[in-house]
A and B are shown apart, each in its own frame.
Chain A
């Protein structure tokens, strides 16, 4: 077992039955955490089921059969925090379970928090509350209703909603077009029996990554590995690669009308650059120059010079190779804003990148990468994201790669980025 690991060098400490275990050793945090990720292809067939699973599992497990029992126990463990849920990364759906608890030295000598917290987490995942060899009907019905409400409530946060909708519309004929939580229609088909079948598929066949982080003694780590090795596993599913390169036809224009005061403008692009491609870091710098911060062309021109918006940014969806531009504007200013945005894209294509924009972009990325070492969750997410796309870069490698990107590289990559969809959320009047 390799124990010489700091938060910037994380490596595998065990691997069996499709479960890979990593340790992030650090003494600077006051808490420890255990993260378990299962991942699956993002498919219409499984999306809603995968989303419903953690919601049902968190309702109770052997020994702690209700939310109340679990909560009482978490309180007894000096306020441990447990959570679970789903996200998507490219065309993968991730089911995450997480527990965080204070380091033993703040709790006193007569309690082993690592064992107790891990046992609870493992119980929640592997020993759900069952009735007649299926999930508890009541839990399924309630959580299906909650999930339905969650899907319908997407519209509440307009800023996030419009970005997600834009990318979904762009990819509506691809797996990426599926929402992280599936759809309301797919939920209707789920019951306590077929979800329990799906649960077995999830537990036995989906590949998993486990991250143990903080100041955990070797004994505790060994205990976790032992516990995980007892999960009954079958043939591990092989997961597809996200398809990134897609030809773009004519630009799609979509307008959605709801009752709002501010218009939300969103532009979705295909970068045609997968995250394991050697050109990926050129794209990262390109995005930073375009809309990745206060130094960026979008912030400077849409907000500071034209005063059209409070926010204007661009962001990458790394795994699917998408880029999105987003801004909140006065409805009547849509054309003006579009004109300024198109102009910025042209400027980069024409090589009009100032030294300031170029240098500030590279430094800003460097700061961001170095900063993530201060959060256990971000460290874990960083490495997990690397592993699922098959890159093994450390934060330092990334900084090196980014520093090597030249202005010419940025102009080159600009040629590959194609506008696919313009999405506008506007008022009903």
Chain B
């Protein structure tokens, strides 16, 4: 068995890597002294993959919105009942989540890792979907969708994506709509499964106090490639470089207006170190412009235009990237105006080198905090893995970042023509 090791001495972490003959890559991040063992089995398939060409077919198919998430629910159903029961018998907690670009199955346990891991390997590889169980799941997922409809934080974010994008499927709610899921049946679920759940499109990660060799041995014994590596053709609609609209508003039962605004990113490369470097650079700039140590944050806070809920982030994936920032405000449009003024100011004056250095050091330190938690490691590791990088490269990117590069990225990303805002107002 061929096991590769990468040691990250500066942060005291080691990653063990194994590649299965099917093309499945597996990783172990040992965490000595931890009680929890956290294992994930993930596929590079999420809510945005609603159009694709099946292996061996000529024509593309368009599947109902929300199907990746629906499939995630249905995989827990096995021939002899729900696999959740079997995990529960072992005292472990199985779970799963679907994001825009990935579906992730996982469990965390403290004992009997091997048995738990076997359950994970088996159920993800063996779907057992019946017409009847598909119908029942529609009721459950409908309530999940209803819950999100009433969640202002969720709505304000998706409305912003809708303001950014004209066609990109990232603007569609991950769970779909009650209407779209009504069209899902057993056959189309299998089509999605057979296209995206081949081991070569998947990865396994185990974080915790485990022996890498034993984990890989179990994978060797349990992973089966039923067919040769299929070609997956994902189809994405063309997306203009400009935003869809500048302003979106919705009314919900909130006490005070909420907002999210940000810049639609264009002309980026999401893959590899380059994507990670851009992500870090933009997060750094956001911290410089509107972080707690910035004058903008403090002015807005002192004037009562923002409060503690204010936060910011940047996301980058294969077909889309954007920054988003917001929180509660009595006057979101006043905040927008101030952000615009500040950006114009920086455009003429330039970014401050001293705060760049200080914030870079702080962000690197805060990255270390993530390494305390097996969940956080798993989550970050998987999300960057499908962009073909390792999360443990972050510290090095901080070390090698140049101020000139950051200045260039500022010029590209903070383009005021691509600024959109989403507001939730009280009913």
In the complex, which of the residues A26, A29, A101 has the most CB atoms of chain B within 10 Å of its own CB atom? A29
Contacts of B109 in A (CB 8 A): 367
**Extra 14 A-B pairs, beta carbons < 8 Å, given A294-B85, A310-B143:** A67-B292, A68-B292, A74-B362, A75-B361, A79-B364, A155-B253, A261-B149, A261-B150, A262-B147, A309-B143, A363-B89, A364-B93, A366-B110, A366-B111
Nearest-neighbor residue (CB-CB) of B139 within chain A: A307
Within 8 A of B (CB), among A247-264: 258-262
Q: How far is the CA of A142 from the CA of B255 in the complex (A)?
A: 18
Contacts of B361 in A (CB 8 A): 75-76, 78-79
Q: How far is the CA of A100 from the CA of B365 in the complex (A)?
A: 11
Contact of B301 among A67, A75, A374, A375 (CB under 8 A): A67
Within 8 A of A (CB), among B59-96: 82, 84-85, 87-94
Tell me if B233 is interfacial: C-beta within 8 Å of chain A. no
Contacts of A19 in B (CB 8 A): none
Contacts of A28 in B (CB 8 A): 31-34
In the complex, which of the residues B11, B91, B308 has the most CB atoms of chain A within 10 Å of its own CB atom? B91
Contacts A30-B369, A71-B293 given; does A142 touch B33 at CB 8 Å: no
Q: How far is the CA of A27 from the CA of B152 in the complex (A)?
A: 41
Within 8 A of B (CB), among A357-371: 359-360, 362-364, 366-367, 370-371
A149 touches B140 (CB 8 A): no
B55 smallest CB distance to A (angstroms): 33
Q: List 16 A-B contacts (CB under 8 A).
A: A30-B11, A30-B12, A77-B365, A106-B368, A146-B307, A149-B328, A153-B254, A259-B252, A294-B93, A294-B94, A328-B143, A328-B146, A360-B88, A364-B91, A371-B108, A374-B374
Tell me if B36 is interfacial: C-beta within 8 Å of chain A. yes
The 0/1 profile, CB within 8 Å of B marked 1, for residues 93-107 of chain A is 000000011100011
Q: Report A's interface with B, CB cutoff 8 A.
A: 26-31, 66-68, 71-72, 74-81, 100-102, 106-107, 138, 142, 145-146, 149-150, 152-159, 258-262, 293-295, 303-304, 307-311, 328-330, 356, 359-360, 362-364, 366-367, 370-371, 373-376
Contacts of A363 in B (CB 8 A): 88-91
Contacts of A106 in B (CB 8 A): 10-11, 365, 368
Contacts of A329 in B (CB 8 A): 143
Nearest-neighbor residue (CB-CB) of A78 within chain B: B365
B372 touches A376 (CB 8 A): yes
B396 smallest CB distance to A (angstroms): 14
Contacts of A307 in B (CB 8 A): 136-137, 139-140
Contacts of B142 in A (CB 8 A): 330
A152 touches B292 (CB 8 A): no
Nearest-neighbor residue (CB-CB) of A106 within chain B: B368
Q: How far is the CA of A71 from the CA of B355 in the complex (A)?
A: 12
